[in-house]
């Protein structure tokens, strides 16, 4: 019990000293380093900060954040106002791609859309997390790993340059759709055809290569 009490007290001290946090409504439970936070905080940034502060405490191995955000009356925003503010914040972010959208319901924001990188999901959450009126964020943004056409085009060019033959008039176009690359055009030799296909397979996120290249000889 002494160790459990020490960890709980360490968490209490960490939360109490955090200037970004009003910890008066937080209850801490600890079981062998697994800490559960329950109770209330007055804003979503404080909801996040409480978990971060708990993780900094000595002996903590896991934090489960069950806090509820109870907004002060002055911080409430109706759904339309919060939705508009959230989408404006997403659009203003240089790191959030087009197509990511937010919808508010009773202070709960749901993010939807598709991105290529987890960092872009994190950027979307960060863009809206400090808006007044946010109680929680549900991230339903999907990760889509599509082929990068420029990456494939570079690989194809390198393969053609490496296997060039005298008076070479080879011309290859790599068309990317989702995770599929279609090769069209013509090459002089079968070796070039095979090399270009192998190069296309090395492209990021490529799962299929349709080789329609003609060998002209």
CATH code of the domain covering residue 131: 3.30.1340
What confidence score (pLDDT) does residue 204 get? 80
* Angstrom distance (rounded) from CA 182 to CA 135: 47
What confidence score (pLDDT) does residue 4 get? 60
Structure pTM? 0.68
Same domain? For 211 and 179 the reply is yes
What confidence score (pLDDT) does residue 217 get? 81
Same domain? For 42 and 12 the reply is yes
* Angstrom distance (rounded) from CA 127 to CA 11: 28
Token pair 């009126």 is found at 133
Same domain? For 20 and 44 the reply is yes
If phi > 0 it is left, if psi is from -120 to 50 it is alpha, else beta; for residue 108 that is beta
What confidence score (pLDDT) does residue 143 get? 83
Same domain? For 81 and 95 the reply is yes
Same domain? For 52 and 9 the reply is yes
What confidence score (pLDDT) does residue 2 get? 52
Half-sphere exposure of 117 (CA within 13 A, CB side): 8
Same domain? For 116 and 156 the reply is no
Dihedral (Cα; 189, 194, 196, 198), 10-degree rounding: -170
What confidence score (pLDDT) does residue 3 get? 61
- CATH of residue 44's domain is 3.30.1340.30
Cβ neighbours of residue 23 under 8 Å, at least 6 residues apart? 12, 15, 16, 50
Same domain? For 159 and 133 the reply is no
Determine which helix (DSSP H) or strand (DSSP E) holds 140, and give its type and residue range.
none
Containing structural domain, residue 202: 149-215
Q: Could you give the number of structural domains in the chain?
A: 3
Among 69, 95, 110, identify where a domain stops: 69
Among 88, 113, 143, identify where a domain stops: 143
Measured CA angle at 18 (ends 12, 24), to 5 deg: 55
- pLDDT tens for the 217 residues of the chain, in order: 456 678 999 999 999 999 999 999 999 999 889 999 999 999 999 999 999 999 999 999 999 999 999 999 999 999 999 999 999 999 999 999 999 999 999 999 999 998 888 899 999 999 999 999 999 999 999 887 778 889 899 999 999 999 998 888 999 999 998 889 999 999 999 999 999 999 999 988 888 999 999 999 8
Return the percent helix, strand and coil in the chain, to nearest 5: 40, 25, 35
Among 47, 69, 91, identify where a domain stops: 69
């Amino acid at each position: 019990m002494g160790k459990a009490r020490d960890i709980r007290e360490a968490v209490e001290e960490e939360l109490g000293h955090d200037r970004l946090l009003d910890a008066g409504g937080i209850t801490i439970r600890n079981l062998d380093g697994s800490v559960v936070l329950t109770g209330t905080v007055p804003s979503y940034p404080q909801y996040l900060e409480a978990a971060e502060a708990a993780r900094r405490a000595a002996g903590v191995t896991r934090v489960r954040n069950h806090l509820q955000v109870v907004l002060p009356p002055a911080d409430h925003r109706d759904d339309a106002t919060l939705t508009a503010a959230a989408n404006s914040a997403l659009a203003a972010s240089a790191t959030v791609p087009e197509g990511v959208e937010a919808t508010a319901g009773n202070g709960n924001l749901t993010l939807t859309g598709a991105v290529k990188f987890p960092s872009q999901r994190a950027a979307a959450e960060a863009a809206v997390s400090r808006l007044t009126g946010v109680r929680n964020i549900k991230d339903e943004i999907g990760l889509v790993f599509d082929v990068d056409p420029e990456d494939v085009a570079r690989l194809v060019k390198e393969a053609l340059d490496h296997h060039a033959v005298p008076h070479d008039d080879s011309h290859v176009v790599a068309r990317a759709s989702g995770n599929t690359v279609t090769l069209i055009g013509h090459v002089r030799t079968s070796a070039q055809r095979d090399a270009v296909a192998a190069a296309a397979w090395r492209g990021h996120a490529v799962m299929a290569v349709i080789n329609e290249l003609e060998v002209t000889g």
